[in-house]
Amino acid sequence: MNHLSSVITLNNRRYIKPALFGVIALAILIGESLYTVNEVEQVIITQFGKPVGQPVTTAGLKVKLPFIQAVNPIDKRILEWEGSPSDMPTKDKLYISVDLFARWRINDPLQYFLRLHDEHSAQSRLDDILGSETRNAVAKHELIEIVRTTKDRTPLHDSQLTQAESAQDIGELVPIKKGRMQVEQQIFSAASEKVRVFGIELLDIRFKRINYNESVRPKIYDRMVSERRQIAERFLAEGHGEAARIRGNRERDLNKIQSEAYKQVEIIRGQADAAAAAIYSHAYSQSPMAISFYEFTRTMQAYRTIIAKNTSLVMSTNSDLFSFLQSINRLNRYDSDAPPPTPGPDSAKVSAVLPADAPPQIQVIRGPHARP
């Protein structure tokens, strides 16, 4: 019984290995025969490197011949193309750096696989086609056509612009014929025809960045700074002119105020002098003696004003001052009751050149320190 069990065990062991190898081979065969297609993919089946059948565009589990057929997945999503900035001239001979981007997808996977085979080759081909068409389009248009979008846009005018600046079209927009969108459409139309033969559908193309060339950019910036500096200097000049005008108005108003004040002061002073003269006239016109006293005091005040130390006078013998001084001298000379006064340093000497009964002549009155 034991011997029979041993024989059966040996027979089972003999068939286990082939069965195991068969299961593994079957699994490998099934794995090579079945494949899955993702929702974002489409598949090209190739046999010995050549496409067979139609592209598989539906998602799910699919079957192929094992070992001799290969699965080549192709993306069916919208793909992006980012171009590198490149320098190119415009129609008005300005060198600019243009940066583009585009969106595309594979609409004919079989043609795409035969002509390009993979996405890297497709990106390289798009670089050549889109770069060439962009260069051609930019060379046919001026810079303003590439930058501006709308034709009939009305600019906002600065209210501080002068008539001379308005006559120079400062703040005016240069009219355009097409604009950036039509230039992009031209590039799109020309490039779409060329990429269609590769099984590619070009969906959109746009300018991402437009800038001046690196070599001319400092000059452009310097010109912009110069223009802004001119505007700033104009505003400064206008400000200085306005400040000068304000200062002139201030000086004029100040002089006017001072003139009006001086006029009022003189009017008040004149009125006060008139009132004082009226009071003096009323006070000194009460009697003949008051009148004589007023005349005497006024004469004394005049003498005090006109006669000072070392003063030489030339006067007529009929003048009141001469008579007054001569009477004082006569009193001092003939007053025998009182001793003669000692002449002071400021006393005056009267010398009559002619006799007293002579007609009026000129007499000289000198101080003690005056030259003879």
What pLDDT, on a 0 to 100 scale, did the predictor assign at position 148? Answer: 82
Q: Is the pLDDT of residue 88 over 80?
A: yes
d(CA 313, CA 244): 56
192 and 90 belong to one structural domain: yes
Q: With contact defined as beta carbons under 8 Å apart, do 11 and 24 qualify?
A: no
Q: At 191, which amino acid appears?
A: A
Each residue of 143-164: b (16+ CB within 10 Å) or e? Answer: bbbbebeeeeeeeeeeeeeeee
Give 360's pLDDT tier (boundaries 50, 70, 90): very low
> Is position 233 within any domain?
no
* Residues 111 and 193 both lie in one domain: yes
**Is 284 a member of any domain?**
no
- Residues 87, 47 share a domain: no
Higher pLDDT, 349 or 111: 111
Are residues 38 and 137 both part of a single domain? no
Looking at the fold, whether 202 and 141 belong to one and the same domain comes out as yes
What angle do helix axes 320-334 and 288-306 make, rounded to 10 degrees? 90
- Residues forming beta bridges with residue 97, ordered by sequence position: 87, 211
What pLDDT digit, counting tens, does each position of 244-292 carry? 999 999 999 999 999 999 999 999 999 998 898 888 777 777 778 877 7
| CATH number (domain holding residue 123) | 3.30.479.30
Which amino acid belongs to residue 27? A
Domain co-membership, 138 together with 211 = yes
Which carries the bigger pLDDT value, residue 163 or residue 66? 66
- Domain contains 249: no
| pLDDT at residue number 266 | 93
Mean per-residue pLDDT, 143-162: 72
Q: Which two tokens stand for residue 36?
A: 């899955």
Q: What is the 3-state secondary structure (H, E, C) of 80-129?
A: EEECCCEEEECCCCCEEEEEEEEEEEECCHHHHHHHCCCHHHHHHHHHHH
Q: Give the end of a domain, one of 38, 57, 73.
A: 73
- More reliable by pLDDT, 50 or 364: 50
Are residues 90 and 61 part of one domain?
A: no
Q: Is the pLDDT of residue 6 over 70?
A: no
Q: How many of the other CB atoms lie within 10 Å of CB of 369?
A: 10
In a domain, 357, yes or no: no
Furthest CA-CA distance within the chain: 207
Does pLDDT of 154 surpass 80?
no
Q: Examine the fold and report which residue of 73, 104, 124 is the final residue of a domain before the chain moves on.
A: 73
Q: What count of residues does the chain have?
A: 372
* Closest-CA residue to 49 (of 120, 124, 109, 113): 113
Q: What is the pLDDT of residue 322?
A: 73
Residue corresponding to tokens 């559908």: 201
Q: For position 152, what pLDDT does the model report?
A: 66
Please tell me the predicted confidence (pLDDT) of residue 345: 41
Q: Where is pLDDT greater, at 112 or 224?
A: 112
Residue 74 bridge partners (DSSP): 42
HEC-encoded secondary structure of 285-354: CCCHHHHHHHHHHHHHHHHHHHCCCCCCEEEECCCHHHHHHHHHHHHHHHCCCCCCCCCCCCCCEECCCC
Distance of CA 307 to the CA centre of its chain: 75
**Amino acid 351: pLDDT:** 37
46 vs 6: which has the higher pLDDT: 46
Does 271 fall in a domain?
no
Average per-residue pLDDT in the chain?
79
Q: Are 217 and 211 in contact (CB under 8 A)?
A: yes
Where does a domain end: 49, 73, 97?
73
Q: What angle do CA 207, 209, 215 make, to 5 degrees?
A: 130
Q: How confident is the model at residue 149 (pLDDT cuts 50, 70, 90)?
A: confident
Least reliable range by pLDDT among 38-42, 45-49, 50-54, 317-321: 317-321
Residues 315, 278 contacting (CB under 8 angstroms) = no
Same structural domain, 23 and 59? yes
What's the distance, Cα to Cα, between the start and end of the chain in Å?
190
Provide the pLDDT for residue 258.
Answer: 93
Average pLDDT over every residue of 127-142: 92
Q: Any bridge partners for residue 99, and if so which? A: 209
pLDDT in tens, 315-351: 777 776 677 777 766 766 655 455 554 444 443 433 3
What's residue 79's pLDDT? 94
Question: Which stretch of DSSP H or E encloses residue 168?
Answer: none
> In this predicted model, which residue has the larger pLDDT, 12 or 131?
131
> Which residue segment(s) compose the domain that 30 sits in?
2-73
- On whether both 181 and 64 belong to a single domain, the answer is no
DSSP 173: P
- Residue predicted with more confidence, 123 or 12: 123
